[in-house]
Structures are given as structure tokens and as C-alpha cells.
A = this chain, B = another copy of it.
Amino acid sequence: MSTIQGKVTLLSAGPGDLDLLTLRAAKALAAADILLVDDLANADIVTLAPHARVIRVGKRGGCKSTPQAFIQRLMQRYARKGLHVVRVKGGDALLFGRAGEEIAALREAHVPVDIVNGVSSGFAAAAGLGISLTHRDHCQGVTFVTAHMQDHGEPDWAALAATGTTLAIYMGMSRIASIAASLLDALPASTPAAVVQNAGSSQERRLVTTLERLAIDATAAGLGSPAVILVGGAIGESAEFLALAESAEGLAHAA
């Protein structure tokens, strides 16, 4: 080991717009020597790190553009040179970002690690919809779950539905029809559901519907990754859902 001690900051870039970064994240970026940037983070984040050498290491949706082992070697190499390496991750680094493996590898290599939290896209999606994730009339919590599992299996949708929590499903757009079908085995067809693509960014697109119509409406609207799928009674509090329910009722009365 070198006697000059660098460090790695695992930095949460938030869901999109740069002003959703924390003040602490902005400080760390300003002090960065090396910036490793994920492709789920806003590309303009490099403007906040004027002194840093920028290395792009994205791997979107399972395609292996930069192997994890290589990223880890890069971080260690630069930190051992005494440099401040900032590893940027979309959303909050501690949710679905392989931070666990990176922390373990850095710890094993005796490289100090800082973690800077951020806003995960599920929270930004709720903000876009104007809802609480946990409206107490509807649920006692929220579950953030990835549809993209390590062993390519499926999460236990019945068990997740049985909790009664709002479900915030990440990386689920490529299999939205099968997810909706599984959830329909456990939840009423009228359960409010939503898709928020590019939550928290200027490209945000939202769809509010029912679980029964989720897959068909999302496909018709042309929504795709990156997006968060939300399912549960709390989504029914959004103005968009209330308008939908009202117009459905109006149509039913008119018929």
C-alpha cells in the first residue's frame, strides 16, 4: 500500500435533475480528482466536478459495458495514488446499485469509503404524482423491489402483495405484463397503479391507471426504462387517479 491515503466516495446522484443532489454531494464532486460515472446518472453531473478526470463506467439493464471487477480495480488504483475518487450512482447508492459489493472490495483493499446518500427515483416518482408513498389511510409502509434478480428468477409477488405496503418496482419495464399478471393473482384488478419514467428529471413521463390496465396502458403510452412502477391504494390519492375514477364514474352514469 502507498503511504499517501486517498479515498472513495460512493455518491448518490439522485433521480435526474442536478438540484436533487444533496449539498454534501455537491461538495464531494467539487473536490473530486477522479469521477466514475454510471449511465443512470445525469450526464451533466460532470459540470459539478471541474477538477476531475471523468471515466464513464455505465452498464444499463444488464448489458455488460464495464465489468464490475474492472470498476473496482480502477477505484482502488486511484485511491492508492492518494486521489479522491468519486463513484457516482443514480438515485441513492444504497438501493439496487451493487454498492454492497463495491464497499466490501474497498474494505478488503483497505481503501477508506464515504457514502453520500441521495434521493431514490421511487421518491421522485411519488413527488411527480403528488402522493405520499405511505398514506396512512392505505398502508403502513412501502417496499422497494427490483424485478431484475441476480438468478434471473422472479420476486415472490404474492408475498410482496400480502404485506399491504405500496410496491415501488424498479427495473420492471421489460416484464411489466408478467409482473402485473402475478400481482393480479393477489390484488384486486382496481388497485391503483402508476408508471413514472425518468422520475425527477425534465423528461419525466407519468401514467396513472389500475393494476388490471397497467401493462396495456404502459405499452400504449410507449413508456419504457428507466421507470418506476408503483402499485397500491396510496397511488389512488393522486389527482390524476381521482380524475380517472371520476370520469369512469361519469361514463358509467351516462351509459
Contact = CB atoms under 8 A, between A and B. Distances in A.
Interface in A139-190: 140-146, 149-150, 155-156, 159-160, 162-165
B19 A100 contact: no
Contacts of A237: 100, 103-104
A130 B113 contact: yes
A36 to B, nearest CB: 17
Contacts of A223: none
Given A94-B131, A100-B136, A143 B146 contact: no
B117 A131 contact: no
Given A21-B23, A119-B92, A159-B163, A132 B103 contact: yes
A217 interface: no
Nearest to A135: B100
Given A23-B26, A137-B100, A234-B100, A239 B92 contact: no
Interface residues of A, number: 65
A107 B22 contact: no
Contacts of A22: 14, 19-23, 119
Given A92-B119, A160-B163, A163-B143, A107 B23 contact: no
B127 A155 contact: no
B100 A131 contact: yes
A128 to B, nearest CB: 8
Contacts of A126: 94, 115
B133 A95 contact: yes
A156 B146 contact: no
28 contacts: A18-B23, A19-B24, A20-B24, A23-B23, A23-B26, A92-B119, A94-B123, A94-B126, A94-B127, A94-B131, A94-B132, A95-B133, A98-B136, A100-B134, A100-B234, A100-B237, A101-B135, A101-B136, A103-B130, A103-B132, A115-B127, A136-B149, A140-B146, A140-B155, A156-B162, A159-B159, A159-B164, A160-B163
